[in-house]
Structures are given as C-alpha cells and as structure tokens.
Structure 1
C-alpha cells in the first residue's frame, strides 16, 4: 500500500494552518496528491471567523502550489454528515486535529469521530495546539493487542512504519514475554515488510492501566507518533472511543494514527 491520495480537513480554527503544513509535508514525502476538504459550519461564516472562513480555499491552494504538489479542493456542505459527502472514501489517509474546545463550532462535528468509523480510511489525528514544526513518523509506537482494529492500523500505517527511523511494538498483556509466539509472529511480519520493530512489552499486573503504561513507555522512547486501532461499532463517540482508546484521545499530546 502507498499513500497516493491524502485528505486534509480545513476549517477557520487556529489549528488549521499547522494541520495543512503537516499534510503538505506528508504528501510530499509520499508523493501523494493532497485533497483539501473545507468542513466549515454555517456558524463559521458569521462574526469574527467569517474572514478566515472565506480565505480557506485561497490559503490552501497557495500553500500547496508553493510546495509543488498535485492537489484538489472541495467545500463540503455545512449539513454534510456522511463520509461520501465529506470526500473521505477516495483517499488513503485522512488528516485532522483533535477538536479545539474554543473552536468546535467552526468545524463539522462528524470530524473526526463519525468519519473515522464510516470512511474505511485511516485517520491521523493531530493534538490541539500542534504547531507542525515537530517531527512526525520518525519514532513510532504501535499499540498492539492482536485485535482486528490494531491489525488494520498496522497495515494502514505501513508506509509510515517503513519510512520511520525507529518503530516500537508496545504490547500490554498479563502474560507478556518477548519470547511469546504471537509476539514473535507480528514482529516477524513487520520485518518481512522491512520494519525492524523493537519490542516494548508491559506485563499487566493490575497496578496500572493501558494508557498510563503506554505513555510511560513513550516518555522513555521520545516517540512522535502512536499507531493504534479505534474500537467499537457504534457511531457514537463515547462508544467508538471507549476504554483505552477513549482515554488515549482525551489525553492526546502527540499525533495518533487510528484505523477502524
């Protein structure tokens, strides 16, 4: 798999410029076409945000043209609510930002939550306040639990994993051991794709939860991206991101690539 079409969602919020900057860097790295999709609400076209909302198309086109990228631009209708209406199906990667508490009203509320589980496309979620200046995809942690969702996330992230300088396979399990056959199988599978993953397992003794253990490992490894599955089948955000995934996104401090 290669990233040939990348969608970046655009809005009038303060995080949009950095999101576009990051999307341009990723598209250039993978020689992909960048598709900007304006997901502004009707409210964004009123009051103080109006000028910024009206400038979204020109600013996006100027940035991608300066980068020399092939691109498209689409403006989604404010009432759009499906992956098709938000131009998400014909893409290999979606890029958005964790909703800013002060700017949620400026962007369509189905992004990221509902689109992630309906588009069938992996989504890179950037943290609120992301500047676009930090490294992304140089040191990657895979949050692995042998599930369908984490399996999908690994394969969806393969172009990034293959280009990374370091990849860490984080497994949180009661019986974790580097020598376990299932652990060695996923490690071998990654190696067959040219990804040399270092094992970073954590034996679950009941004294800490998955998210705390994961971030303790991230502090040690100075990771810049987490790859994980998004769990659940309901279109409701609370169900989709239940349990560890919900905790992870509520405490997002670095980019997370998720698949459902």
Structure 2
C-alpha cells in the first residue's frame, strides 16, 4: 500500500497552516497529491436568522467569502513553495458530510484536534470523530498543542487483536516502514481473558521488513487505557500513536468508545486512527 492522495482539512483557525505544512511534508515523502478541503462551521448564521437581520447576514456571508479566499491563497502559496501537486476544494453543504465524502477519495486524511481556546477550530459537533468513523479511510489527527518535527520516526502501535487495530496497523504501513523505532504495545487485560497476540503483530511487521519491539503494559487500577497508552508514548518518546477507532451504532450516528474519545481529548502526539 502507498499513499498517493492526501486530504487535509483547512479552516480559519490558527492551526490550519500547521496542518497544511504537515500534510505537504508528508506528501513529498510519499510522492502524493494533496487536496486542501476547506470546511468551516455552518452554524454561525443561525442567530441572525432568528433576529431577521438580513443586513447582518449579508455582512457575515461577505466576511466568510473573504476568509475562504485568504485560506485558498495561503494553501496555494504553501503548496507551490513546497513543489507539491495539489488542488483546492471548498464544497457547499454541511461540513461533516462534505469531509466524509471527499475523504473517501483519498488514501489518508489529516485533521486537527479541536482547540477550545480557538472558536474557529470548531467545525461541527464531533467533526473529527465522525470523519474517522464514517469515511472508511485512515485519519491522522494532529494535537493543537506542540509541533511534530520528528513525526513517524518513533511509532507506538496499540494492539488488542481487534478488527479496528488490524485495520489501523495495515493502514499505517507506509509510515511505519520509514520509522526508526516501532513498538507494539498491549495493555494487559483481565487475568481471566486471553491476551491479544501482540507477538503475532510484531511478526507480521517483521515480514514487511519492519523490526518492532514489544511492550506488555500492566493495567493500573484507576488509570484508563487511553491514559496508559499516552504514558507509554511519553516513556518511549514516540512521535506517532497508531490505533483502531472504536464505536457502536446509536440510531443514525456512531457513539465513540471510551478509549477513542479519551485519546481525542487528551492526545499529546499525532494519532493515526482507522475504523
């Protein structure tokens, strides 16, 4: 598997340019085409509709058009400087639906963690979660805090033998093959359950030419699996966590599992998720 098309989400937040730079650098490593998908919150006009303030609505729409123009200019300039093949898209309609649809035509998607101190980073409720769960594509989510200069050099793969974990492991291979250090991490389960075959996952990687270490992490009472994985990431100074995204159908939407939601809220390094 190779990455030939990367899709990066763009918005008006202060983190959008960092996502662009990250996606372009990754695309150059994999000789990939980059799609910049501009999708912002669609709910900003609702208060004006309630007041019937048509002049205010027209002003907001004009401001939105100007912000989109500036975002396009910034993305185009960055991609041109990088010498990376690219295209710009700004689809109409609900942001989540548009992102999910366009993500399905990419090999890898780059999103950002929501920054609660930056209103422009809010696109839609559970935006990143819904793209992960519904796009059918691997998604890299970048934390809003910190930089990723050594992305992918030291990788931790969370393994529990599940379908989701297997999917994430296979989806991450183009990145993992370039890593200097790889660790398959298993959080120990309850004593009366079978342990997931972490050694088998390491053997699978070995047959792909990837030498991986193995870590069996004791479960500490009162510490969740998400926090345990992040502690492991910190202990080995990893720059990427690979894991399956878990959820269950609830009416017409997905409800995320506790570990997935916890990691999305507290992540300290980029996380590659697949469902």
The offset of 1:88, in angstroms, is 1.1
Give 3-state SS (helix, strand or coil) of 1:234's partner: strand
Q: 1:218 to 1:145 in 2, by over 3 A?
A: same
Alignment counterpart, residue 125 of structure 1, candidates 126, 141, 144 = 141
Give deviations 1:41-67, integer Å, cap 9, x for gaps.
Answer: 3549839x7554330111111111111
Structure 1 equivalent of residue 177 of structure 2: 162
Alignment counterpart, residue 149 of structure 1, candidates 142, 164, 173 = 164
Structure 1 equivalent of residue 248 of structure 2: 233
User: Taking structure 2 as the reference length, what is the TM-score of the superposition?
Assistant: 0.83
Greater Cα radius of gyration, structure 1 or 2:
2
* Distance (Å, rounded) in 2 between the aligned partners of 1:41 and 1:208: 35
The offset of 1:85, in angstroms, is 6.5
Does 2:209 correspond to 1:194? yes
Structure 2 equivalent of residue 257 of structure 1: 272
Where in structure 1 do 4 or more consecutive aligned residues deviate above 6 Å?
A: none
Alignment counterpart, residue 60 of structure 2, candidates 24, 46, 52 = 46
The offset of 1:219, in angstroms, is 2.2
* Distance (Å, rounded) in 2 between the aligned partners of 1:247 and 1:106: 19
CA contact (8 A) 1:19 1:97 kept: yes
* Distance (Å, rounded) in 2 between the aligned partners of 1:155 and 1:114: 21
What 5-or-longer segments of structure 2 have no aligned partner? 46-58
The CA RMSD measured in Å over matched residues stands at 2.7
The offset of 1:83, in angstroms, is 5.3
* Distance (Å, rounded) in 1 between the aligned partners of 2:247 and 2:9: 23
User: Taking structure 1 as the reference length, what is the TM-score of the superposition?
Assistant: 0.88
Structure 2 equivalent of residue 185 of structure 1: 200
- Select between 71-80 and 221-230 the one with higher mean Cα deviation: 71-80
The offset of 1:206, in angstroms, is 4.0
The offset of 1:100, in angstroms, is 1.6
Structure 2 equivalent of residue 75 of structure 1: 90
Q: 1:235 to 1:135 in 2, by over 3 A?
A: farther
What 5-or-longer segments of structure 1 have no aligned partner? none
Structure 2 equivalent of residue 93 of structure 1: 108
Alignment counterpart, residue 138 of structure 1, candidates 153, 160, 180 = 153
Give 3-state SS (helix, strand or coil) of 2:34's partner: strand
Give deviations 1:122-148, integer Å, cap 9, x for gaps.
Answer: 00000013445x221010100111001
